[in-house]
Structure 1
Amino acid sequence: MEKSYKEIMPQITTFMFDVDGVLTNGIVHISTTGELTRAMNTKDGYALKTAIDLGYNICIISGGVNEGVRSRLSNLGIKDIYLGAHKKIVQFEKYLNDKNIKPEEILYMGDDIPDYPVMKRVALPCCPKDAVAEIQEISSYISHFKGGFGCVRDVIEQVLKVQGKWNGKFDAKYD
């Protein structure tokens, strides 16, 4: 019998995310000068920062190359950011080897076909509510939130709650 996503969450030490369609809503705005811009949810940012502060590994693997994305994520404290990753499995393997991490410790959230090979390798493949059908089919958990609208916060918060690291752990920091 296959484990439920809640049974896998206690072993998660590493969160991996795609950008477009996960950390953003997948819409790219094009300015008159040709600049591509995206929007990210601050609640997702808070959850990412919280996970980093608690010692979790965070890795971003995206096919996009927008340096504004790198800047935003770096400012949250994320160090492992792979942009321009058209074969995400290559960066995934490199990250595992460099950090000595096992696939059984990883939650990966993706939304489209380029995420498929990595999602087939991790313990907890997840996706936003509006992911493509092929990704939803292989996901152990489908967030109730769409990409860019809190799906990252959703999965991080759930893992931290299952591991007893979310509720009441931040009071002193914000008093």
Structure 2
Amino acid sequence: MSLKDTSKKFEAKLKKIKVVCFDLDGILTDSHVWWASEEVGFNRTFCIYDGYGMKLLMKAGIKVGVITGGNSISVTKRTEQLGLDFCYAGNEDKREAYMDMMKKYNVTPEEVLYMGDELFDIPLLRKSGFSATVPNCSDEVKEQVDYVTIKESGKGCAREVIDLVRYAQNIHPNIGDF
């Protein structure tokens, strides 16, 4: 089944999405961190396709951000570089951040897409109007979501979910000829 066909399957839910939230480690990264230095802390690798997809959603008026338990310079720098609408970092109990984000953007849970991969993401996955995870996470997480991506952590999995939203909401980049 193509991604466009999959999007049609979830179209009713995806059309309602106004805010897209991602966990960072294990979704936007491949779940590996390495110690860089005392000044930098832990470092991560990000997928460029995910970043471009986030920018497409933001240009279309969808709020995009991160709610992550991790916190380091690499988290801050990547979210700032992308110009994300929000970044909540440093607390594995993400419920307060989620509620604050909903209040800030005046949205209901059914208008939120959340993508996470860890056990502490389950409350947000359950609450959100559309939820997604990656194939390399635990079965307990997979059992809670609407969609499990084909692509693995940090390898374009967020873009895969972004494209589901784009197809359902008819969001396309302005690509003109020259």
Query: Scaled by the length of structure 1, what TM-score is found?
Result: 0.90
Alpha-carbon offset, residue 32 of structure 1: 6.4
Q: Which runs of 4+ in 1 moved over 6 A?
A: none
Q: Is the 8 A contact 1:13 1:57 kept in 2?
A: yes
Q: Secondary structure at the match of 1:21?
A: helix
**2: CA distance, partners of 1:107 / 1:130:** 20
Alpha-carbon offset, residue 6 of structure 1: 3.5
Match of 1:113 in 2: 119
Q: How many residues align?
A: 169
Match of 2:12 in 1: 7
Go from structure 1 to structure 2 and tell me whether the alpha carbon gap of 1:32 and 1:122 turns closer, same or farther (over 3 Å shift): closer
Match of 1:68 in 2: 74
Alpha-carbon offset, residue 78 of structure 1: 0.5
**1: CA distance, partners of 2:71 / 2:81:** 17
Which of the numbers 161, 170, 175 marks the counterpart of 2:174?
Answer: 170
Q: Is the 8 A contact 1:22 1:111 kept in 2?
A: yes
Q: Secondary structure at the match of 1:120?
A: helix
Match of 1:149 in 2: 155
> Which residue identity lines up with residue 59 of structure 1 in the other structure?
G
Which of the numbers 24, 28, 40 marks the counterpart of 1:23?
Answer: 28
**2: CA distance, partners of 1:127 / 1:63:** 16
> Which residue identity lines up with residue 135 of structure 1 in the other structure?
V
Which of the numbers 72, 88, 91 marks the counterpart of 2:94?
Answer: 88
Q: Secondary structure at the match of 2:27?
A: coil
Please say which of residues 151-160 and 24-33 is displaced more in the overlay: 24-33
1:39 aligned to 2:45? yes
> Which residue identity lines up with residue 88 of structure 1 in the other structure?
K
Match of 2:134 in 1: 128
**1: CA distance, partners of 2:23 / 2:37:** 27
Q: Which consecutive residues of structure 1, in runs of 5 or more, have no partner in the other structure?
A: none
Q: Secondary structure at the match of 2:132?
A: strand
Q: Is the 8 A contact 2:41 2:72 kept in 1?
A: no
**1: CA distance, partners of 2:32 / 2:124:** 23
1:160 aligned to 2:166? yes
**2: CA distance, partners of 1:38 / 1:101:** 31
Q: Secondary structure at the match of 1:11?
A: coil
**1: CA distance, partners of 2:168 / 2:63:** 17
